[in-house]
Amino acid sequence: MNKATLQLSPPNEPRTFGFYLDGAYVAAGDRELATRNSPGHGVPVTKTVKCTGDDVDAAVASARAAFEDRRWSGLGGAERAAVLLKTAEILRERAEEVAYWETLENGKPISQARAEVAGCVGMFEYASGLARSLHGDSFNNLGDGMFGIVTREPVGVVGVITPWNFPFLILCERVPYILASGNTMVAKPSEVTSVTTLMLAEIMTQAGLPDGVFNVVTGSGRSVGQALIDHMDVDMLSFTGSTAIGRAVVEAAGKSNFKKLGLELGGKNPQIVFADADLEDAADGVAFGIGFNTGQCCVSGSRLIVERSVADRFSQMVADKFAKVVVGDPLDEATQVGAITTDTQNDTIMGYIAKGQDEGARLVHGGEQLDFGRGQYIAPTLFADVTRDMAIAREEIFGPVLAVMPFDTVDEAIEIANDTEYGLAASVWTKNIDKALQVSRRVRAGRFWVNTTLSGGPELPIGGMKQSGWGREAGVYGVEEYTQVKSVHIEIGKRDPWIA
């Protein structure tokens, strides 16, 4: 399947997928199937297995066996790197296929899905180098009788629970790094966007990954996800989702085996615009920062904190940008903002828009549901006259809703930016390098952008501060996150006896 031959329309019949165990698909058998309707088209596109607790046990047992017999962790870094590079090669060849199914299940524009898959290729290529360069340390300063070594070893079996907003991208921000360090894993994608996770497991088997190293169970978070969180034979769990569920994950891990956790949770991210910024660039960036992935993005810039002297003019500039955004069929290459992924999220976003108006915010643009005859769409929405106590200023909406709040001084801008329980991401727009550095140092966020937003690559780490999570993904830090540190003390020469 390639871009030249692919018909950009939903399939005539939904495609059925099994779950992935020991290097192969397992058919549903007598298990129930979940049917997924495309949020952009309202027609069924995929059917996936509702796995059971026994299936989770089997997947974890498969990963455990693969870890303990060292079929993966026992390989040299060069051999693991070769598999990761081959995965990148195959993924590049199948990129159009993966992007197509990602768009169908999620509702994001096909152009965005293609770009995300291309970025995922880079993740595997970068992680392949880390598989070869991961190392520990040595201490030759312990005296003539002792030599010290610090090693990094794989954690073991890693469970990965991913959300519906970036099913493939978030997966690929984790998988190559988990595997580069020698771990084995069980992935549990969102029940509404499972297919591209299954495809990655298939691709990695094709690339030479040993059977059992990467297993995928599908089904609901309430049953299958919880079983993975609670499992006593999972050594580490990576969870991406809401802060509320992240808190429950922490509690569950404490009640089971104190498994190591990596958490990327919610965000209410500020975009700070100073009057000395290139306002045209800033307006475009701010619009992109909230419109990308229909605002269903944990790092979307949902709070516009703008210098008062230009606040009204700049708000209108953003509104003008919103008016030109192409909202529509996700399979149309011209579309910039696609469909809302789930019915529940659609209702949540519309509820916040109503709440914003009820609390006294002024609706500048959007606010309505768009009717294209099928699917579910919401116009990019801009609120002015927003105060810090309003729900649309404090709570994560996870939709294309932007709240404008003015400031007068640098200190006030920083205070407003930090006035949140979250600390995932932030942006600042200014041509004054002193301001940019001052703000970037003082705003508490794990990712920070200056005169840009939502940019990045595999080299820099991802993660949050405060209630936005623990740990880091991607970059060197992303590999180290999935290792344990061991100190080794080596005595040299004859022992000084304790018992004479």
- For residue range 153-195, what is the model confidence (pLDDT) as tens digits? 999 999 999 999 999 999 999 999 999 999 999 999 999 999 9
* Residue 88's CATH number: 3.40.605.10
**What per-residue confidence (pLDDT) applies to 14?**
97
- For the chain, what percent of residues have pLDDT higher than 90? 97
Q: Annotated active-site positions, please?
A: 264, 298
Q: Is residue 381 part of a domain?
A: yes
Which pLDDT score is estimated for 7? 55
Same domain, 278 and 260: no
- Asked if residue 498 is part of any domain, the answer here is no
Residue 328: CATH number of its domain: 3.40.309.10
Question: Is residue 6 pLDDT above 60, yes or no?
Answer: no
Arithmetic mean of pLDDT, 264-289:
98
Question: Which 3-state string (H, E, C) describes the chain?
Answer: CCCCCCCCCCCCCCEECCEEECCEEECCCCCCEEEEECCCCCCEEEEEECCCHHHHHHHHHHHHHHHHCCCCCCCCHHHHHHHHHHHHHHHHHCHHHHHHHHHHHHCCCHHHHHHHHHHHHHHHHHHHHHHHHCCCEEECCCCCCEEEEEEEEECCEEEEECCCCCHHHHHHCCHHHHHHCCCEEEEECCCCCCHHHHHHHHHHHHCCCCCCCEEECCCCHHHHHHHHHHCCCCCEEEEECCHHHHHHHHHHHHHCCCCEEEEECCCCCEEEECCCCCHHHHHHHHHHHHHHHHHCCCCCCCEEEEEHHHHHHHHHHHHHHHHHCCECCCCCCCCCECCCCCHHHHHHHHHHHHHHHHCCCEEEECCCEECCCCCCEECCEEEECCCCCCHHHHCCCCCCEEEEEEECCHHHHHHHHHCCCEECEEEEECCCHHHHHHHHHHCCCCEEEECCCCCCCCCCCECCEECCEECCECHHHHHHCCEEEEEEEEECCCCCCCCC
Say if 155 falls within a structural domain.
yes
pLDDT in tens, 89-143: 999 999 999 999 999 999 999 999 999 999 999 999 999 999 999 999 999 999 9
pLDDT digit string (tens) for 415-445? 999 999 999 999 999 999 999 999 999 999 9
Domain assignment present for residue 4? The answer is no
Looking at per-residue pLDDT, the higher value among 123 and 254 belongs to: 123
The reply to whether 222 and 347 lie within a common domain is no
Statement to judge: residues 150 and 245 lie in one domain: yes
Domain housing 165: 15-265+468-486
Is the pLDDT confidence value at 285 over 90? yes
Query: Domain check: are 42 and 91 in the same one?
Result: yes
Q: Is residue 10 part of a domain?
A: no
Same domain, 371 and 444: yes
- The verdict on 89 and 32 lying in the same domain is yes
Query: 26 with 74, same domain?
Result: yes
- Residue 137 in any domain: the answer is yes
Average pLDDT score over the chain: 96
Q: Do the domain assignments include residue 136?
A: yes
Domain for residue 8, yes or no? Answer: no
214 in the same domain as 65? yes
Q: Is the pLDDT of residue 2 over 90?
A: no
pLDDT of 5 above 50: no
Q: Above 80 in pLDDT, residue 1?
A: no
Same structural domain, 238 and 283: no
Same domain, 327 and 403: yes
| Pair (431, 476) in one structural domain | no
pLDDT tens-digit profile of 324-376?
999 999 999 999 999 999 999 999 999 999 999 999 999 999 999 999 999 99
Is 149 in the same domain as 191?
yes
Domain total in the chain: 2
pLDDT digits (tens, 9 = 90+) for 31-73: 999 999 999 999 999 999 999 999 999 999 999 999 999 999 9
Average pLDDT over residues 16-37: 98
